[in-house]
Chains A and B, each alone.
Chain A
Amino acid sequence: MSPNELIAAVTERFPDGVTSSHVYRGDPTVVAEPGSLLETAAFLKDDVNLLMNLLVDLSAVDYSQFAKSANSAFFASSGVTVGPALQIPDKDPWPGPPGSDRFAVVYHFYSMTHKHRLRMTVPVPELNAEVDSVASLWPAANWLEREVWDMFGIGFRGHPDLRRILMYDGFVGHPLRKDYPVKKRQPLIGPQN
């Protein structure tokens, strides 16, 4: 299916669940409501016209600093700041982050049968950051969701085993959040048997 047909198929099925959609640089994206995430995902996986049997990737983005950075690191020491760059008008502009919530969980799907790709983003609020787990539909989501929990602190309801995966157990905080300083180290913790 072409990107637009894909979006039409999903939007038709879930007129309330899909809040917005766009095609940017040829990538179709649907923005789904957190409430209807599981339903939408199951539809994507099982519908004969979609058959998104491969969960390519599951990650998250912290949009809290989006377009707020001064980008003036080079001149920061001298007190001179450089304004944000002039934006070149894009021929097909991107509509922006999904919603005003802090986080967004991003799913990339691929269909082995129909050879089409779809991106689904789900906005997640800062307080009570939690969405439904899709690990029951794709076992691949198990570790990927653990990673998102580890890096962003977004919880997944119904996940079989939600614990840290890349960082160690004693680590405090979630390093890929924009408010975690890149150089903030924590004390070494001994090996645990």
Chain B
Amino acid sequence: MSIETTSTTADERQGLDTRDMMLNIGPAHPAMHGIVRIVAVLEGEMIKETDVEIGYLHRGFEKMSETVDYNGVMPYTDRLNYCSPLINNVGYCMAMEKLLGIEVPERCHYIRVILSEISRIGDHLTCVGAGAMELGAFTVFLYMIKAREFLWELVEQVTGARMTVSYCRVGGVKADLPDDFLEPCRKAFEETRKVIAEAHGLLTRNRIFTDRMSGVGVISAEDAIAYGITGPFLRGSGVEYDVRKDCPYAVYDRIDFDVPVGTTGDNMDRYLVRMEEMEQSMRIVEAALRDIPGGPVMTNPETGRPIPAAEMVDLAKVGNIDAIAGGCAVAGPTLEGSGLARHPLIAADQKQVFLPAKENAYGNIEGLMQQFKLVMLGHGIRAPKGEVYFPVEGANGELGFYVVSDGGGSAYRVRVRPPCFAIMSALSKLLEGDTMADIVPTFGSINMIGGELDR
């Protein structure tokens, strides 16, 4: 700051007229992977202040969630953080499960953990790759997208889609892992590790890269917390806060992994934290694949008390409804479906919470009925009145879902706590005092995702 003042006074002494320059960057700018507008006030090359404008990708996630049923929100959650859609799925499902008060089976938890971590690696690869590309390291970008492609193929084997997966269901996941999942997973990780090693070789000690990343975009731990920053960004500043460790969900408390932290809180630290987190994520997946138990992947429905069909009809005829409540008819083979298992705590006509697997929905009458009844408005899940907040560790930080239910068939309010919103709100502070060229690496280290920032 002192240099600045002396230069200004020197200019004044010489009678020079100095003015600040306004620079508009965005909303469509080559060095910005994401649409955001930064209006910077420059003094020479120094950034005096910036005004960050967001909202260019606001597409009404929260309003749309109020118009569809609970399972219908799932595709919308995919498109929040589209680099790691599975983590959004998991976050929303776990919030809903908390509201409904249901427990999912062990195996489902493990599958969710495995896929969350694979997504996290993909997200970090994109972030580091795109950030490096903007600094001129195009090779790294190509390598990292190559690695991401291997991971996406893995995701595709499990979910059937590359990125917008809608794989989780309230009460479970869509389908089990494929039988021979270990081998492709091992191969993909081998490739990913190679790419990470290559990226380390190309970047970590690269003079150009370190010069542009070190000491740039510094934020102290106190400031980062005050701005509500979480995730790799906060860990870069040296705060060991990770939802997976501090408020463990699913089975993270049973899996051994480290939380890498930085020291200075500059771009370089955040880059290194992300690189290390990818390694840790692979470690988690490997441990989870080793420990994963067998069993169902959806909520265990309780089978109702079996009542012979004829008896049930007689009871119904005389109006003795209480006697048949909670029971299920045992019908002959021609009346399939009536013996379907129920979940008595679910306020849905079908007494089941999850959509059936696609092969059931298309393949047999029970699955078709279950699907049909759950997707009809007014017949799907009806959560009890209440409000819950559930945080998960997204790729950018704490991703929380706050769901309010009024007992109806669709959520009364779904609020997402988007992790990069907090980071973007601190962007002005991060850029202040740096030079104009520092906007690019700092912005790259934020990993701004429009879908999650603007919703």
Contact = CB atoms under 8 A, between A and B. Distances in A.
Contacts of A90: 101, 384-386
B408 A55 contact: no
Interface residues of B, number: 61
A94 B101 CA distance: 13
B247 A24 contact: no
B225 A71 contact: no
B247 A87 contact: no
Interface stretch (B40-48, B74-82, B276-284, B398-406): B398-406
Given A71-B409, A165-B54, A108 B241 contact: no
Interface string B44-59: 0000000000110010
B422 to A, nearest CB: 6
A182 B426 contact: no
A59 interface: yes
A88 B410 contact: no
Contact of A182 (B67, B223, B398): B67
B64 A182 contact: yes
A175 B63 contact: yes
Interface stretch (B173-181, B333-341, B411-419): B411-419
Interface residues of A, number: 56
Nearest to B429: A139
A133 interface: no
B212 interface: no
Contacts, number: 154
A71 B408 contact: yes
A72 B247 contact: no
A158 to B, nearest CB: 17
B389 A182 contact: no
B425 interface: yes
Interface string A9-26: 000000000000000111
Contacts of B347: 85-88
Interface in B82-112: 98-99, 101
A78 to B, nearest CB: 12
Given A139-B425, A182-B67, A25 B239 contact: no
Contact of B410 (A67, A71, A112): A71
Contacts of A94: 384-387
Contacts of B377: 71-74
A91 B344 CA distance: 13
Contacts of B417: 56-57, 108
A25 B386 contact: yes
Given A88-B384, A91-B101, A108-B402, A119 B389 contact: yes
Nearest to A138: B226
5 A-B pairs with least C-beta separation = A140-B228, A166-B55, A94-B386, A143-B425, A85-B382
Interface of A: 24-27, 29, 53-57, 59, 61-62, 65-69, 71-75, 82, 84-88, 90-91, 93-94, 96, 106, 108, 112, 115, 117, 119, 138-140, 142-144, 151, 164-168, 175-176, 182, 193
Interface of B: 24, 54-55, 58, 60, 62-64, 66-67, 98-99, 101, 223, 225-228, 230, 239, 241, 246-247, 344-348, 376-379, 382, 384-389, 391, 398, 400, 402, 404, 406-410, 412-413, 415, 417, 421-422, 424-426, 429, 454-455
Given A69-B408, A86-B347, A182-B66, 13 more contacts: A57-B417, A72-B378, A85-B409, A87-B384, A88-B346, A94-B384, A96-B385, A106-B387, A108-B402, A112-B239, A140-B425, A165-B55, A166-B454
